[in-house]
Structure 1
Amino acid sequence: MHSQINRKNLIIVTVLFSIALLIRLFLVSKYLDEWDSVQYALSLHEFNLEIHQPHPPGYPSYVFLATVINWILQNDTLTLNMLSVFSGALSVVFTYLLGKEMYNEKVGIISAIIISLTPAHLVFSIIAMTDIVFLMFLTASVYCLYIGLRSNKLLYIGAFLATYAVGIRPQNFILVAILLIAFLYWKKEIVPIIKSIIFAAIGGLIWFVPASLLSGGVINYLRLARTQIDAIERFVYTVKTIENYFTILLDGWTISILIFAAIVIMAGVIAIRKNVITIKHIEKNSTLLILWIVIASLVYISIYQLYISRYLLPIFAPLSIIFGASIVWLTDNIRYSNIKKIIYVCASIAVIIMAYQALSHAYLLSNITPAPIQACDYIKYNYSPHDTMLVATDSYRHFQYYLPNFNAHYNLPKYANILNKNTSTIVSDIPLSIADPVVVQKYHRSYDIYQKHDNVSLYQTNLYLEPFASTGFYYPEYDGNFFRWMTNDSEIWIYSPTECQGVFCFEIRSINKPRHLFVELNNATVYESIVSPEYSVITIPVNLVPGDNTIKMFSNEDNIRPCDVEGTVSNDDRQLAFAIRGTSFIEANKTLYIDIGKYKYSPCLRTGFSSPEKWSDELDIVWSSGNQSELFIVSTQFLDNSSQTITLTMKCLPFLYDSSNRMIEIYVNNNYVGQISITEGWNQYTVEISREYIVENGYNTITFKYGDTTSPREAGVSDDPRPIAIAWDWVELK
């Protein structure tokens, strides 16, 4: 009889493990999806908390176990993802065994089915993260400790597994410690307790000692491990943190958790009315499960920034067992068959809802490449590692791992320390330049699939003569044009390969009232003015030195927080002074070329121009607006002294070729210099300008007066009411 029971149990375990494993093998990710996943992969080759391989507190049990597996598989991604796959399947088995041991076989089976099909459990069983591995070891240790109350050998194994599990996710040491103390208290036998403590010490030392040695000693390891915990505002229970807890719990279980909770409440009410449960008499199994959930929940609410369901995986096993036990107890203790059927139907519906979302979610995750890795593929095939530098924030680890031949840096580094003479292009996942961001590619994987790395935009910036945001600038915003808020003490960095003359252009406004603006170039004042709350164009002639050039923009008046402005309703607590846009350095040389369609040159468009429009990857244009347009050009003694005339060349397109007057009159500094007749299609036109009309060391205004304007609405083309005449591509002055 006993052998038959063991055989049946083995069959159930085999079936549960095989089904759970096959599902996860079919859906396993092909990539390192998370920032943390990449850090774990890097740590397989060098465990170093100083450089976040992995990040503190280190996860040493996980890394060391994965390192051993990787010696065999010789593939970082395969090793880490397979560790999650097998851990997910094994946690299903241990949930069954624990439910069976606490209650009965039916409870064990139902509990295993429930946990196996929760979306969070399945998703985090197919990607390289520590949470599912910790859950497996925790559930295994609790199972061994529970049986260990009557079998000393399993008590010792459980104690060892418990402290080894702490090394997988050290953040959970409070939960593990309290559960272990509870079991030892229930054991009440001195010798087994002492032996259990010894085995627990071994389980902890097996990862703590090598982690300490690799980190430069115990003190240094503890210092590094504490950095993550010290960075968290701990033990703060607010409505928001509790709301986040229930939000991600619902996200990890779907609405099915409400159905299961209703079944638990129904079972609890009936059990209390039948005096099966009383305050003075709660069975040890129920006490353990409640303790497990309560302690874990209090810890997670207090030390985690709860935004993703994987943080709550350790409570999935006790929840599944409680749900399974409630279903079985209700159906065993209710006499009415119809009510039993309703309970089974409700539970089945809940499982089906979870299974559908879990499988569809995991399938999408498995088959859609993470956005950072899509970006890596684009960079690999479109840029050369010899002349391209990568600067990244959220995508940094993926760039570092998947693009090992490139020079990758995190966030905004000190450029002078990392530049080499061959670098000419910077590719980043954030806009580095204060000029209009040039987005070369955008990649997306839905936030609903995974709550990290859902969007990556790649920006390309030329290193030379580009104004980089150094300090005091906030992330770009868009109100029809890109702009940045800045503080009253901000800094721009420009790198020039040689000595260079030109003009520093930008549009700026103050946040709420006129305030002083001072501009310094390499510690020398080059501009001072009062800036109003309306945008104004500022152009400053500057001489750049070879190498680093620092432009400081500051005010002697305090910053203002929008939330403090009287009469406004805002939660914005940023320290603001000015908004800036259209920032650029325009070099003066023998050929002055202005790509009118590029937002970089928008400070040169004084009046009579619309906003830039992108017609294709190669073509950005600006429509004229009104009867005339003014173009602002700076010259810094760049013209050929041997020539008495300057050639103005322009490329443009008429809006309506058959309009009655297609003539454009051209003026330079209010001097009439000629007119051109616009023909159909994109064409180039030239006008000779007398040298005497040009200010060679200053600013020049070129005015274009149009003979005829028509709005697209009047022409029956669209509802656009703008009076337009010409689409502009570029202007060149020689």
Structure 2
Amino acid sequence: MQGHLKSLISTVKSRNDLVVVLLLLVLVVATRLPLAGKFLYEWDSANFALALERYDILLHQPQPPGYILFVGVGKVFNQIFPDANTTLVFMSIMFSILTVILVYFLGKDLFSKKVAIIGSILLIFSPIFWFYGEIATIYPSESFLAILIAYTSYQAFKGRKSFLYISSLVLGLAGGFRQDLIPFMFPLWMFCLFYHDHHFKRVVTALAVLGVSILLWLVPSIILAPGLENYLHAGGHFSASFTTSSVLFGAPLSNHLLMDGLLFSWLMIGLGFIGGFLIVIFLIWKRKTLLDREMLKNPRLIFLGLWILPSLLFLIFVPLSKPGYTLTFLPALILILGYVVTGFSQNLGVKFNISPGKVVSALIIIYVLLNSVYFLYPYNLNEESTWETQIDHMNTTEKMILGLDLLFMYNQEKITINDQNTEWHLEVIGNLSQNRPQSTQIIIRDIIREDQGFSWRKAMYALPEYSVYYLFDSGNSQLKSNKLNNQVSAYYGKNHTFTISQSSALEIPINSSTERIVWIMDNRSPFFQELQSQLEIKTIHLPNGLNIYYSEVKGKKLDFEVGGFEFKTTNNPS
């Protein structure tokens, strides 16, 4: 009789879990799918799109270190969907669903079913998580892999021996999606591995499984580079990027503090404003309890701390430029927020003689409404003139708007504006060339906002039959890691491949068949002013305030120099 009762209870629990999971799935799909981005969102999105056609990290398809397993999964789904953006957005939604589901199951294990459900709902409506779940990007997969490592490691912590090896396999393979997951999640994995089990053979086996699972993606990555030297050299740009953001690598202190300010704002947005406020109140309210020696030994606190702190401390001391990096530990913060909301509801319920359930419902409704208004209200803070204008050429108002946009605006309108901007550029260029790619060359400079600006990478992906140049020099290298010293570089893209040239002066060949040049650049820059003195430039005004410039060059013999680049007509007809 007792056995039948246990079986019945287990069946009911499983069915209840299934219902919750299905409801969470529907909620994620309903909030993401209708609003998903229609075009590749940023420079890296184009890198991944190109990688689905041809994997080559030397060509930044995708950018180093390669993310080989992410691209591999993408190649599978790309056989189903009609284009790369749809494939990558589908993956973002899919990984968002899986992350939310694991938040539910891990929340049940760590705290309670109530905390698990609350945490899952809060994560769905977290603006940062919501934002990245609608665009072609890798960060939702990082969020999923992080919580998958945490979940499987926690099962090992609970004494489920098979999960010693499952968590080892997951940790190792996660590096094929995002390599930073291995060092960031390794302390948590080690804690769960050694907390109960000191059996030498099992520990060695777990470490061996980890090593082999890393080699499963690392060896193919090196072979495809091809070779270890090429693979290591391709990843050298990461350390260079730190020199502009981290004081530890020689960046100005002001830059470092600015980036830390951005990180703080992204965390507050990720927690949904009211969520960050509740956690701060909770930390002040419970500070004595949290600092108690016995509390500091609490395995759950250690578990969550080892999940959050490695990546958070890295971002504090070596700041990076996107809020997507916070998705590694955002699920952990959201679970803590779920626990905080539950605790507040119980205390407020007792104090004011209100049902704790009603308090929880009220807090969740407020959280969902505020975040939904923030995310869905079409408020266009991001001034378009800051997309393709160098900071040195911005007025004070534009600099303030750019700062506010980077700090606070990660919403649906940002995605919509990116789609509109891309669509308008493609339409105008198609009309100018009369859809004859050989008649038009595209030359791009001055892209500050690589997400919403019509960057060179987006152009070369969306317009593969056109000759597309990106001119890069010391005048348009603010916020860039690879600043040029007395040199210029030119990126030339066509048919989804490209070449790079760098020298003190470079020739930009204008083909004899070219009838016009389309210029995408800042009209306030000295480069543009000098160009305008050499060649007649016409202007097309876009509805968003940006301009597309072009010059009619049919039958003209060009031979002039601007900013280290020599524009010269050649006899090459293609």
TM-score by length of 1: 0.59
State the 1:187 CA deviation. 4.1
Change (3 A) 1:342 1:77: closer
Q: Secondary structure at the match of 2:79?
A: helix
Aligned partners of 2:17 and 2:285: how far apart in 1? 27
Aligned partners of 1:279 and 1:54: how far apart in 2? 47
Q: How does 1:248-397 map to 2 (within 5 A)?
A: 248-265=266-283, 268-269=286-287, 272=288, 278-282=292-296, 283-306=298-321, 308-332=322-346, 335-338=350-353, 345-346=362-363, 348-360=365-377, 363-365=412-414, 367-368=416-417, 369-383=419-433, 384-393=436-445, 394=447, 395-397=455-457
Among 510, 515, 518, the alignment partner of 1:427 is 518
Aligned partners of 1:349 and 1:441: how far apart in 2? 45
Aligned partners of 2:318 and 2:176: how far apart in 1? 17
Checking the alignment, whether the CA contact within 8 Å between 1:48 and 1:54 is kept in structure 2 is yes
Change (3 A) 1:320 1:28: same
Aligned partners of 2:566 and 2:335: how far apart in 1? 60
Aligned partners of 2:283 and 2:353: how far apart in 1? 19
State the 1:84 CA deviation. 0.4
Deviations 1:2-36 (A, max 9, x none): 22112212221221122212322222222211111
Among 449, 469, 477, the alignment partner of 1:409 is 469
Q: Are 1:243 and 2:261 counterparts?
A: yes
Change (3 A) 1:38 1:57: same
Aligned residue in 2 for 1:207? 217
Q: Are 1:166 and 2:175 counterparts?
A: yes
- Structure 1: stretches of 5+ with no match in the other structure: 446-454, 472-490, 498-545, 548-734
Change (3 A) 1:372 1:408: same
User: What percentage of aligned pairs have identical amino acids?
Assistant: 22
Q: Secondary structure at the match of 2:550?
A: strand
Aligned residue in 2 for 1:126? 134
Aligned partners of 1:295 and 1:157: how far apart in 2? 22
Change (3 A) 1:171 1:352: same
State the 1:495 CA deviation. 3.7
State the 1:371 CA deviation. 1.7
Q: Are 1:460 and 2:550 counterparts?
A: yes
Aligned partners of 1:135 and 1:439: how far apart in 2? 46
TM-score by length of 2: 0.74
Deviations 1:154-197 (A, max 9, x none): 33222222222222222444212222222223243333322322
Q: How does 1:224-243 map to 2 (within 5 A)?
A: 224-233=234-243, 234=246, 236=248, 238-243=256-261
Query: Which of structures 1 and 2 has the bigger CA Rg?
Result: 1
State the 1:438 CA deviation. 3.5
Change (3 A) 1:342 1:70: closer
Deviations 1:191-230 (A, max 9, x none): 3322322332233222212211110122321221233234
Aligned partners of 1:193 and 1:91: how far apart in 2? 28
Counterpart residue type for residue 299 of structure 2: K
Deviations 1:691-733 (A, max 9, x none): xxxxxxxxxxxxxxxxxxxxxxxxxxxxxxxxxxxxxxxxxxx
State the 1:265 CA deviation. 2.5
Deviations 1:288-332 (A, max 9, x none): 2123222211112333433x4222122210111111111223434
Aligned partners of 2:87 and 2:126: how far apart in 1? 24
Counterpart residue type for residue 20 of structure 1: V
Would you say how many aligned residue pairs link Structure 1 and Structure 2?
Answer: 466
Counterpart residue type for residue 167 of structure 1: G
Checking the alignment, whether the CA contact within 8 Å between 1:163 and 1:200 is kept in structure 2 is yes
Q: How does 1:284-683 map to 2 (within 5 A)?
A: 284-306=299-321, 308-332=322-346, 335-338=350-353, 345-346=362-363, 348-360=365-377, 363-365=412-414, 367-368=416-417, 369-383=419-433, 384-393=436-445, 394=447, 395-411=455-471, 413=490, 416=507, 418-430=509-521, 433=528, 434-436=530-532, 438=537, 440-443=539-542, 457-463=547-553, 464=556, 470-471=562-563, 493=566, 495=568
CA RMSD of aligned residues (A): 2.9
Change (3 A) 1:145 1:119: same
Change (3 A) 1:188 1:496: closer
Aligned partners of 1:201 and 1:74: how far apart in 2? 37
State the 1:467 CA deviation. 7.8
Aligned partners of 1:320 and 1:49: how far apart in 2? 34
State the 1:277 CA deviation. 6.7
Counterpart residue type for residue 355 of structure 1: S
Aligned partners of 2:64 and 2:308: how far apart in 1? 25
Aligned partners of 1:239 and 1:227: how far apart in 2? 22
Aligned residue in 2 for 1:538? none
State the 1:85 CA deviation. 0.7
Work out which structure has the larger RCO, using CA pairs closer than 8 Å and 6 or more positions apart in sequence: 2
Aligned partners of 1:120 and 1:42: how far apart in 2? 25
Among 33, 45, 49, the alignment partner of 1:25 is 33
Aligned partners of 2:173 and 2:540: how far apart in 1? 44
State the 1:342 CA deviation. 6.0
Change (3 A) 1:359 1:470: same
Q: Secondary structure at the match of 2:204?
A: helix
Greater share of residues in strand: 1
Q: Secondary structure at the match of 1:280?
A: helix
Moved more, 335-344 or 116-125: 335-344
Aligned residue in 2 for 1:34? 42
Deviations 1:317-362 (A, max 9, x none): 0111111111223434563245756676445423321132234465
Change (3 A) 1:2 1:79: same
Change (3 A) 1:191 1:28: farther
Aligned residue in 2 for 1:657? none
Greater share of residues in helix: 2
Aligned residue in 2 for 1:155? 164
Deviations 1:122-163 (A, max 9, x none): 110011111111101111121111012221223322222222
Q: Are 1:197 and 2:215 counterparts?
A: no
Aligned partners of 1:205 and 1:360: how far apart in 2? 46
Aligned partners of 2:466 and 2:205: how far apart in 1? 53
State the 1:382 CA deviation. 1.9
